[in-house]
């Protein structure tokens, strides 16, 4: 995402010119000779602003707010990312990388015995035939009164007590949140997980599983994780942490590829601009996950994903 200032400003010009044409307006912003550098270049932004103001005066059919929205959309198009978005003063959301999801939410089996839930994070568990412990939740919630890693551990306690022989985590439709690394560390032993690459440059750093979070041997059972293109971020980090260390089998479809972090700027008019400032790659494989997704080890559609995961887990007994 080290896109150049030139590309960002050219994106804004192209978007404004397209809006003028769409609305039957007059004129356009002519090409401007911008510096092709990644640093913010104030003189070039000033050139753009002056040229944009002249053309705006010729096109009263476009409101000032719409003109600004279009320019920002064009800038974001230069470096699309699921974390990069703009909320305009009226609350409208403009995404730089719209990708409609086709996959379904988690499908909790109707067979087996309930282990509890769903709770406020959607956490629910079932003991399925053959000792498969099915667990799902729709958000990695961490608040002053609720911590998803503690609640998942409690659900796993029930699974072990009931004679569980394998874990099946269905994270389709999970919208992310906090502490995915903590839950991944339940199954690891200090290994490296993901590299953090910063937009501003500098050496990448990596995340490692904290050894003190590893669960006892009774919990170190075969593990499958179901993903698809609905939801992202937290479930993808969890799956990638494990995939990097060959600790889980990923079943289903490719995930959405929303693996990074954002910085939010609040504007004086009430609008907000969120821009990606870091992204994650595999610490062991170097795999690029952000805007690519976590690829499944075993492909399956949403109808057959649970059955396929169960089949794989039983082979590991």
User: Got the DSSP string for 242-256?
Assistant: HHHTT-SEEEES---
133 touches 168 (CB < 8 A):
yes
pLDDT at 203: 67
Q: Where in the chain is the domain with CATH 3.90.226.10?
A: 113-264+276-315
Strand partners, 262: 276
**Per-residue pLDDT at 1:** 61
pLDDT of residue 219: 98
Look at the block and give the residue holding tokens 């089949």.
311
Q: What is the pLDDT of residue 250?
A: 98
Greatest distance between any 2 Cα atoms in the chain: 74
Domain 113-264+276-315 CATH superfamily:
2-enoyl-CoA Hydratase; Chain A, domain 1 (3.90.226.10)
List the chain residues with pLDDT less than 50.
none
> Closest by alpha carbon to 106, among 177, 173, 176?
173
> Taking Cα atoms as reference points, which of 39, 46, 97, 92 lies closest to residue 69?
92
Q: What is the pLDDT of residue 260?
A: 86
**Residue for token pair 């874990």:** 167
Residues 118 and 153 sit within 8 Å (Cβ to Cβ): no
pLDDT value, residue 152: 98
User: Percentage helix, strand, coil, to 5, in the chain?
Assistant: 30, 20, 45
Sorted by sequence, the CB contacts under 8 Å of residue 283 that are 6+ apart come out as: 192, 193, 194, 195, 206, 207, 208, 244
Asked whether the beta carbons of 152 and 123 are under 8 A apart, the reply is yes
With the C-alpha atoms ordered 2, 206, 237, 116, is the resulting torsion angle positive or negative?
Answer: negative
What is the token pair recorded at 316? 């590991």
* Residue 87 β-bridge partners: 93, 272
């Amino acid at each position: 995402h080290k896109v150049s200032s030139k590309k960002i400003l050219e994106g804004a010009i192209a978007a404004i010119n397209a809006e003028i044409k769409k609305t039957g307006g007059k004129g356009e912003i002519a090409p401007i000779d911008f510096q092709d550098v990644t640093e913010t270049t104030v003189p070039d932004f000033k050139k753009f602003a002056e040229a944009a103001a002249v053309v705006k005066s010729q096109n009263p059919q476009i409101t000032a707010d719409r003109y600004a929205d279009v320019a920002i959309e064009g800038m974001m198009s230069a470096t699309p990312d699921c974390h990069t978005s703009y909320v305009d003063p009226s609350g409208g959301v403009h995404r730089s990388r719209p990708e409609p999801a086709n996959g379904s939410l988690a499908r909790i089996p109707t067979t087996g015995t309930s282990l509890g839930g769903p709770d406020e994070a959607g956490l629910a568990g079932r003991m399925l035939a053959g000792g498969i412990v099915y667990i799902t939740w729709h958000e990695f919630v961490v608040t002053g009164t609720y911590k998803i890693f503690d609640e998942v551990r409690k659900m796993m306690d029930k699974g072990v007590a009931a004679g569980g022989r394998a874990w099946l985590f269905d994270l389709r439709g999970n919208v992310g949140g906090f502490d995915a690394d903590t839950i991944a560390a339940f199954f690891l032993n200090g290994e490296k997980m993901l590299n953090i690459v910063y937009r501003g440059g500098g050496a990448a750093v990596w995340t490692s599983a904290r050894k003190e979070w590893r669960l006892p041997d009774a919990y170190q059972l075969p593990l499958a994780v179901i993903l698809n293109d609905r939801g992202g971020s937290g479930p993808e980090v969890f799956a990638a942490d494990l995939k990097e260390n060959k600790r889980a089998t990923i079943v289903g479809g490719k995930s959405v590829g929303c693996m990074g972090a954002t910085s939010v700027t609040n504007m004086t008019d009430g609008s907000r601009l969120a821009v990606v400032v870091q992204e994650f790659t595999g610490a062991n494989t170097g795999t690029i996950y952000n805007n690519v997704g976590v690829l499944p080890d075993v492909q399956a559609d949403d109808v057959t994903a649970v059955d396929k995961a169960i089949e794989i887990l039983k082979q590991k007994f």
